[in-house]
Amino acid sequence: MQTSSKISSPTSKTLRSLIAAGISVSALFMASWLLQSCATSVIEGATLPATEKLVISGILTAGQPVRNIEITRTLPPLDTFLVSKTLVKNAEVTLTVDGRAVPLTLQASTGIIPKTAEGLPIAGYDAEASKYEASGLIVESGKSYTLTVNWNGKRATASTFVPETPMVQTSNNLVWRTDSVTVLPGRPGMGGMPPAGGRPGGMNMMPALTRVQELSTQINLGLQARPNEGYRYTRVGFRDTVRSVTLPDAVITNATLSLPLSGVADFALGYTARFQITPNAPFRLVTSNTVSIVSVEAMDAAFERYQTSANRNTPTTNAFGGSGQNPIWNVTGDGIGVFVGRSKPASFTVRPK
């Protein structure tokens, strides 16, 4: 007669107790699968399909020589990233203007390698970054330029238009508003712009909870809008014309380009600045006497399309992952990137309303 033996291992006892508690076998398998999926695994020799692309980044500035047209390449997704691997130093590059093709050459080495905040060289950088130039060619407003890059059987092109200097269309004004704000003890004042008195940058320390006046100003600059152009501020400063007091200019880098609506001839370019009038300020702005001196540049509208689409495929803009949409490049063919023209900056004086 055959006898049956009972399973008495600790694992089997635990399994039986869980089933007795009403937990299904399928749920247990699912939990086991989830735990295994969280484990770190390494797959040797894995590859992902990828198409190598040229990457082009360049800005043509009116009145300046053609320089710093950077040409690199993409790397396979699973490759170890080093900047030195992306450099393209032997491309055939030409810039065509007025029907004439001008060759670009690799720029001379600067001998400067970028460093970390701790002052250490960044691994993988090459002091001879792959930037190209045509030092004898000066960029002219009102002209179109086409860049052509040939490398390793790949061909990428991009065209741009260099705008004229921006022009004022209507009267301009400053609109001031005064508020009271609370500054926390021992912390600097709010701001971006210098305070209306005291040290630049809003760094006047408050000894205790203090209510101070804050001036907010909206600059409205009426520009003549032109097709396929965008506009942005590059510098903003304020000056009390009666007492000859000038606040340090704020240099604005990487400002977003503003694009007029189609068919609009008069375009208002806005900018908001804030100042804190601290108790120990050596002077205070008299708004009726204060003017703003601003610098504005025009750029190919292609740059605005790139700026507004650059982050749409990042996790920060989509909680459920990338949207699958790339930035809007103006480089075509076997390349990606941005190649645009910009005007000389124009300076204007904006007065109180």
Cα gap 270→231, rounded to integer Å: 10
Task: Indicate whether 17 pLDDT > 70.
Answer: no
Query: Hey, what's the torsion of the CAs at 176, 181, 186, 191, to 10 degrees?
Result: -40
The predicted-structure confidence for 178-228, as pLDDT tens digits, reads as follows 665 555 444 444 333 344 443 333 344 444 455 666 778 889 999 999 989
Inside any domain, residue 324: no
Same domain assignment for residues 348 and 229:
yes
Tokens of 250: 């704020």
Inside any domain, residue 14: no
Could you say which of 95, 130, 162 is where a domain stops? 162
Cα gap 317→125, rounded to integer Å: 30
The predicted-structure confidence for 39-95, as pLDDT tens digits, reads as follows 555 555 566 778 899 999 999 999 999 999 999 999 988 888 888 889 999 999 999
Same domain assignment for residues 116 and 190:
no
Inside any domain, residue 331: no
Which whole-number Å values give the CA distances from 104 to 68, 107, 136, in the listed order? 10, 9, 10
Give the count of domains, the chain: 2
192 and 273 in contact (C-beta within 8 Å)? yes
Q: List Cβ neighbours of 7 (8 Å cut-off, separation of 6 or more).
A: none
More confident residue, 315 or 259: 259
CATH code of the domain containing 119: 2.60.40
Same domain assignment for residues 196 and 158:
no
Inside any domain, residue 23: no
| Mean pLDDT, rounded, for 265-287 | 73
88 and 130 in contact (C-beta within 8 Å)? yes
Same domain assignment for residues 135 and 183:
no
The pLDDT value given to residue 48 = 73
Which DSSP symbol is given to 193? S
Q: Which domain holds residue 229?
A: 173-297+344-352
For 281, phi then psi, to 5°, come to: -65, 130
3-state class percentages of the chain: helix first, strand second, coil last, to nearest 5: 10, 40, 45
Alpha-helical runs (H) found in the chain: 10-20, 25-37, 83-86, 302-309
Q: What is the separation, in whole angstroms, between the first and last Cα of the chain?
A: 109
Same domain assignment for residues 138 and 205:
no
Inside any domain, residue 136: yes
Could you say which of 162, 188, 210 is where a domain stops? 162
Helix H or strand E encompassing 134: strand 131-138
Which DSSP symbol is given to 204? P
State the helix-helix crossing angle for 10-20 and 25-37, rounded to 10 degrees: 120
Same domain assignment for residues 203 and 286:
yes
Q: Using CA of residue 148, residue 150, residue 155, residue 156, what is the dihedral sign?
A: negative
The pLDDT value given to residue 110 = 67
Q: List Cβ neighbours of 56 (8 Å cut-off, separation of 6 or more).
A: 69, 70, 71, 147, 149, 156, 158, 331, 335, 336, 337, 338, 339
Same domain assignment for residues 190 and 154:
no
Same domain assignment for residues 135 and 196:
no
Percentage of the chain beyond pLDDT 70 is: 66
Inside any domain, residue 13: no
Cα gap 133→335, rounded to integer Å: 19
Inside any domain, residue 303: no
The pLDDT value given to residue 26 = 46
The predicted-structure confidence for 87-146, as pLDDT tens digits, reads as follows 999 999 999 999 999 999 998 876 666 677 777 776 655 556 789 999 789 999 999 999
Tokens of 135: 């030092």
Cα gap 330→54, rounded to integer Å: 13
The predicted-structure confidence for 236-257, as pLDDT tens digits, reads as follows 988 888 877 777 777 887 788 8
Same domain assignment for residues 284 and 151:
no
Same domain assignment for residues 72 and 116:
yes
Inside any domain, residue 79: yes
One-character DSSP codes across 233-302: EEEEEEEETTTTEEEEEEE--SPPPB-PPTT-SEEEEEEEEEEEE-TT-S----GGGEEEEEEEEEEETH
The pLDDT value given to residue 190 = 38
The predicted-structure confidence for 182-191, as pLDDT tens digits, reads as follows 554 444 443 3
Same domain assignment for residues 93 and 113:
yes
The pLDDT value given to residue 66 = 96
Same domain assignment for residues 67 and 100:
yes
The pLDDT value given to residue 266 = 81
Cα gap 286→276, rounded to integer Å: 13
Could you say which of 134, 162, 190 is where a domain stops? 162
Which whole-number Å values give the CA distances from 344 to 65, 328, 341, in the listed order? 13, 25, 10
Indicate whether this model's pTM tops 0.75: no
